[in-house]
Each structure stands twice: as structure tokens, then as C-alpha cells.
């Protein structure tokens, strides 16, 4: 009986011992499983999720973009001074250094040379001097040529030619020469005003030339429109296409290096002015005329622009409109704010950065001739109309009107409609405008992309930014070397690349999906999975501590 009793007592003890070992093994398995889950989720899952949800961003040259502020954009002009007396030339060079040391834009590099007296002796007129090739004058460079006896060609002391040569007499002073360079050939005040207005738009206003000048662009559309409100009464006999070919195209051909110009024409009928002219009696043949006040001229453009069909491309458009009033509303004249009528044969006005309108009245004799049936044939004065359009186009491009300087004359325009030094001035204006615009655009874009980290920066945007930065750097270096045309090419590349990067549609892909919204979307998905894993980390820590505490301590010798 005792033996069986002892067996019954030892049996439960053995069962308890087996159960404890299994619990330990199960506990270890659970801990290992928790460790595996935590490793997969934290070490593999979270980085993988972070990487797969990361926005693709090409690394950008932020340091180079910031350094663009340190790049000065001086306009270096190489000036050759040809005089009879070399000492006089050296004196002019010294005076120029003194006069231009206060200029923040222009740096003058002067070179003195001797005059080819034989060529001067052979010149019988100023046209002979213009045609004589004294030296090869590159774009952006100038020559100041002393001409003995200049009074036989012009009453002034200084004569500015159509090419890159300024003729001056022995009586001309270096101060007067520097004044001609700064105000006429360089347009220093206008360019300085333009740059300051771009850098500090809220503090600096553009001058009159800058307000009229059209903004920089790779291409422009020019729309020539003829408005005949009553074609049943007047039949305009005008070959508009041929007129554009004869007058406008030669001028635009000289401007081809600056931009592309697409010229289109159209005829509009049954289009009336939205303003009512005032009837004014006079002592002329008709006994009255109609007056348009200068204040109401802007009200003509707004309704007329809706019918011009000028917004058919992304390029800026310049509009030139010929309005021919009918006989019962002619002659129509424009009056200034002072109550004075516009004189000069053609009534016209200019709208800054938009274009111009010419009012071409029909001849009074044609309107009074009752023997001619309607529609009366009318010929348009192409020379008068296109002459006004060319003058308006020059102002819109930024070729300023030259203010009077005593004893200084300028040769009249040739058939091309532009002088070589005026073209150089446009190069300078556009180069500085495009380089400054590209620099400001890159800095604004870099600030935007740096502040908003979830905007996509794809390879195309990155390539455009790198290309724009490199072009700005090359353009600034070429300006310092006096290479005006090459600097303009680089400025155009910089401007177009910067605009392409700034307006790329991919930059708006995730602009309105910031990081807090990303967390708000994914946290409800991951939180139920993460809570058990995070809570199991406590059990894993306790298990590791218990296991480490059971390890036998090494005895000291």
C-alpha cells in the first residue's frame, strides 16, 4: 500500500515539471516570433514604405543658384578713339575713365589709334565716311573718329552715324562725347531703371521707355489690321501684303537675331468705335470735323481687341490698326489733353506694350464728289501709315527717342529703319533683362522647392535648371569680355530654360498633398498592426533581461 501511494505522489510532480518546460519553450517561440515581426515591420517594412512613398527629386545646384547674386553684370564696351593727335586721344581716354567711374553698368575699354588721313581726304560727304571701312567694328563696339572740317558736313560738333561710328570735330570736348555715349548710344538711365525695377519691383518704377517696351520673349506676333466700318460706302484699294513686304519686313529682318517675328494681317468690316466723337465746327471745306479726346482713346482699344483675333498663340502680340472712318464721320482728329490737335498729317496714338492705332481719313474731295457712286474707291497712303507703324514699333521694342543735345546731330534713318548702334542697344537691354529675369526665376524656384519638400523634381526640370544656371554664368562672363552677341545668345538660353523649369506642369503634381496628409492617410492603416508589435517590445525586453540574469557569472581567480 505504501509503495503504490508513493507512486501516486511522484506522478503529479513529473507532470508539473513537463508542463513548465513546454511553457518555457512556447514563451521563447512567442518572443522569437515577436522579434521577427518587429524586425520585419520596423527594420524592413518602415524603411521600405518610406522609400516607396518618397517623392522623386533631382538634386539641384542650390549653392550655385545662391552664388548668382555675386555675379555682376557689367556692360563692357570696347571703344576705339581715332584722332589726329595721339596726345588728344590719350586725354579723351583719361577723361572717359573719370566720367564712367560712377557708372554701375558700363565699363569702357578705350584704345587710341591714328587716323587714316588718306581716306578722310577722299571723303567728299558724310556718306563717303559711312561707306569707308576704317576698321572692322564688331557688334557692341564703337569708334570715335575725329574728322577735321566736320563743319562742312554738319553744323554741330558731333555727328552720330548710322553705323557704329561717332564723328567729332576738333572743337568737340570729351565731356560732350561722354554725354552722347551715355544718353544716346548706351541708354544708361533706361537700362539702369529696368534692372532696378526687376530687382526691387515695389520700390522702383520704370521710366517712360521701360513702360512702353514689350517684355522679353523668344517670339512675337505682329498683327496688322485694317478696319473699314462701312465697306458699302468706301472701297479701300490697298495691297496690304505687298506693303508689309516693302516696309515692315526689311526692318524685322535686321531684328531677326533678337527674336522671331510672325507677321499676320486681317481686314475687319462693320466695326464701329465704341466712343462717340465730338462734332467741332471749323473753317475748312467741310465746315466741321470730329474730335477724339486723348482721355477716351483707351476705351477704343478694349472693345476693339475682342475682334482682332490676336490671341491665337502663346507669343506676345503687337497690334497695329488702321481705322478708316466713313465720309459722314470724317475727318476724325485726335486732341491732346491741352486741347491741341495732333499735327503732322496722320492722327495716331500708341498704347504701351499693346500696339498702335492710325486714323486714316478719306480725302475730303473724294467724300464731296457726288458723281462717284458708292462704294467710293480710296487709295491708302502706304508711306504715311507704315511710317507711323515703324516709329511705333521702334518705341515698343525699346528704342528710345533721343533727347536734344546742343551741337550734336544724328544721321537720318536708312531704309532698314534701324541704326547699327541702336541694334547694339537692344542687345544690351535684352541681355540684361533676360539674365536678370533668369536669375530671379531660379532663386524663386530654389526657395520654393527648398521649402516644400514633397514637390516632384523630375529629370526635365533638373536639366532645365542646370542649363539655366550654366547659361547665366556663361552670359555674365561673356559680358565682362565684351562679347555682346554671344552673351545675348546665352541670356536667351538662360531665360527660356528658367521659364521652362518654373512653368513645368510636373511641379504641381503633389503640391497639395503635404506630409501631414500623408501621415493622416497611412497611420490608420499601420496603427492597428503597430500597437501589438510595440507592446510586445516590452515582453521582449523582459525576456532578454531574465535570460541574461540566468547566465552563470565567471569566478574570479
Cα→Cα distances 363→111, 112, 328, 367, Å: 57, 58, 12, 7
Q: What pLDDT is stored for residue 8 in this prediction?
A: 46
Q: What pLDDT is stored for residue 173 in this prediction?
A: 93
Torsion angle of the four alpha carbons 448, 450, 456, 457, in this order, in degrees rounded to the nearest 10: 100
Q: What pLDDT is stored for residue 494 in this prediction?
A: 96
Whether the per-residue pLDDT at 531 is higher than 90: the answer is no
- The pLDDT confidence band at residue 222, using thresholds 50, 70 and 90, is very high
Query: Grid coordinates representing 418?
Result: 534701324
- pLDDT tens, 297-353? 888 888 888 888 766 778 899 999 999 999 888 889 998 876 677 666 688 999 999
- pLDDT tens, 70-121? 877 789 999 999 998 899 999 999 999 999 988 888 999 999 988 877 777 7
Q: What pLDDT is stored for residue 1 in this prediction?
A: 44
Under DSSP, the state recorded for 204 is -
- pLDDT tens, 432-450? 999 999 999 999 999 999 8
Q: What pLDDT is stored for residue 544 in this prediction?
A: 79
Question: Do 178 and 95 form a contact (C-beta atoms < 8 A)?
Answer: yes
* Lowest-confidence segment of 57-71, 132-146, 331-345, 448-462 by average pLDDT: 331-345
Separation of alpha carbons 105 and 102, rounded Å: 9
Separation of alpha carbons 90 and 214, rounded Å: 41
Cell 541574461, residue? 548
Question: Do 209 and 187 form a contact (C-beta atoms < 8 A)?
Answer: yes
* Sequence-distant (≥ 6) Cβ neighbours of residue 121 within 8 angstroms: none
Q: What is the pTM of this model?
A: 0.82
Whether the per-residue pLDDT at 49 is higher than 80: the answer is no
For domain 75-192+406-420, which CATH number applies: 1.20.1540, 3.30.470, 3.40.50, 3.30.450? Answer: 3.40.50
Separation of alpha carbons 488 and 485, rounded Å: 5
Query: What is the torsional sign of CA 29, 32, 538, 549?
Result: positive
Question: Do 111 and 80 form a contact (C-beta atoms < 8 A)?
Answer: yes
- pLDDT tens, 471-525? 999 999 999 999 999 999 999 999 999 999 999 988 876 555 666 776 777 778 7
- pLDDT tens, 26-36? 777 777 887 88
- The pLDDT confidence band at residue 5, using thresholds 50, 70 and 90, is very low
Separation of alpha carbons 44 and 74, rounded Å: 56
Whether the per-residue pLDDT at 422 is higher than 50: the answer is yes
Angle between the 484-502 and 459-480 helix axes, to the nearest 10 degrees? 160
Query: What is the torsional sign of CA 187, 396, 431, 110?
Result: negative
Closest CA to 126 of 414, 344, 387: 414
Domain map (residue ranges) of the chain: 75-192+406-420, 214-397
Amino acid at each position: 500500500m505504501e509503495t503504490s501511494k508513493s507512486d501516486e505522489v511522484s506522478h503529479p510532480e513529473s507532470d508539473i515539471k513537463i508542463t513548465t518546460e513546454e511553457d518555457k519553450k512556447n514563451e521563447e517561440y512567442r518572443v522569437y516570433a515577436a522579434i521577427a515581426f518587429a524586425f520585419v515591420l520596423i527594420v524592413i517594412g518602415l524603411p521600405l514604405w518610406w522609400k516607396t512613398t518618397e517623392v522623386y527629386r533631382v538634386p539641384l545646384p542650390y549653392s550655385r543658384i545662391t552664388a548668382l547674386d555675386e555675379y555682376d553684370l557689367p556692360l563692357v564696351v570696347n571703344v576705339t578713339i581715332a584722332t589726329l593727335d595721339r596726345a588728344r586721344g590719350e586725354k579723351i581716354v583719361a577723361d572717359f575713365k573719370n566720367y564712367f567711374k560712377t557708372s554701375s553698368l558700363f565699363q569702357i575699354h578705350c584704345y587710341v589709334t591714328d587716323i587714316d588721313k588718306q581716306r578722310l581726304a577722299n571723303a567728299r560727304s558724310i556718306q563717303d565716311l559711312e561707306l569707308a571701312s576704317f576698321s572692322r567694328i564688331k557688334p557692341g563696339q564703337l569708334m570715335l573718329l575725329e574728322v577735321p572740317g566736320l563743319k562742312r558736313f554738319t553744323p554741330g560738333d558731333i555727328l552720330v552715324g548710322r553705323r557704329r561710328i561717332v564723328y567729332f570735330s576738333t572743337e568737340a570736348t570729351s565731356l560732350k562725347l561722354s554725354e552722347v555715349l551715355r544718353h544716346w548710344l548706351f541708354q544708361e538711365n533706361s537700362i539702369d531703371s529696368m534692372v532696378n525695377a526687376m530687382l526691387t519691383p515695389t520700390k522702383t518704377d520704370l521710366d517712360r521707355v521701360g513702360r512702353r517696351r514689350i517684355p522679353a520673349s523668344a517670339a512675337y506676333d505682329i498683327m496688322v489690321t485694317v478696319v473699314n466700318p462701312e465697306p458699302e460706302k468706301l472701297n479701300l484699294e490697298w495691297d496690304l501684303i505687298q506693303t508689309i513686304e516693302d516696309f515692315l519686313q526689311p526692318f524685322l529682318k535686321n531684328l531677326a537675331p533678337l527674336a522671331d517675328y510672325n507677321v499676320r494681317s486681317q481686314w475687319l468690316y462693320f466695326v464701329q468705335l465704341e466712343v462717340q466723337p465730338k462734332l467741332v465746327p471749323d473753317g475748312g471745306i467741310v465746315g466741321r470735323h470730329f474730335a477724339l479726346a486723348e482721355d477716351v482713346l483707351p476705351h477704343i482699344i478694349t472693345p476693339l481687341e475682342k475682334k482682332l483675333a490676336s490671341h491665337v498663340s502663346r507669343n506676345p502680340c503687337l497690334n497695329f490698326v488702321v481705322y478708316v472712318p466713313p465720309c459722314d464721320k470724317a475727318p476724325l482728329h485726335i486732341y491732346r489733353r491741352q486741347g491741341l490737335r495732333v499735327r503732322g498729317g496722320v492722327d495716331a496714338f500708341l498704347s504701351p506694350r499693346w500696339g498702335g492705332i492710325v486714323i486714316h481719313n478719306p480725302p475730303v474731295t473724294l467724300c464731296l464728289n457726288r458723281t462717284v457712286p458708292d462704294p467710293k474707291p480710296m487709295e491708302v497712303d502706304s508711306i504715311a501709315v507704315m511710317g507711323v507703324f515703324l516709329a511705333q514699333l521702334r518705341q515698343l521694342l525699346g528704342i528710345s527717342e533721343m533727347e536734344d543735345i546742343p551741337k550734336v546731330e544724328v544721321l537720318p534713318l536708312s531704309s532698314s529703319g534701324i541704326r547699327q548702334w541702336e541694334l547694339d542697344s537692344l542687345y544690351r537691354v535684352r541681355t540684361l533683362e533676360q539674365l536678370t529675369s533668369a536669375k530671379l526665376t531660379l532663386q524663386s524656384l530654389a526657395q520654393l522647392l527648398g521649402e516644400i519638400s514633397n514637390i516632384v523634381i523630375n529629370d526635365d526640370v533638373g536639366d532645365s535648371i542646370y542649363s539655366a544656371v550654366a547659361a547665366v554664368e556663361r552670359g555674365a562672363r561673356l559680358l565682362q569680355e565684351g562679347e555682346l552677341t554671344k552673351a545675348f545668345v546665352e541670356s536667351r538660353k538662360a531665360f527660356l530654360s528658367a521659364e521652362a523649369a518654373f512653368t513645368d506642369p510636373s511641379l504641381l503634381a503633389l503640391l497639395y498633398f503635404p506630409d501631414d496628409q500623408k501621415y493622416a492617410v497611412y497611420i490608420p492603416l499601420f496603427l492597428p498592426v503597430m500597437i501589438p508589435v510595440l507592446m510586445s517590445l516590452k515582453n521582449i525586453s523582459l525576456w532578454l533581461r531574465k535570460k541574461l540574469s540566468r547566465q552563470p557569472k565567471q569566478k574570479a581567480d
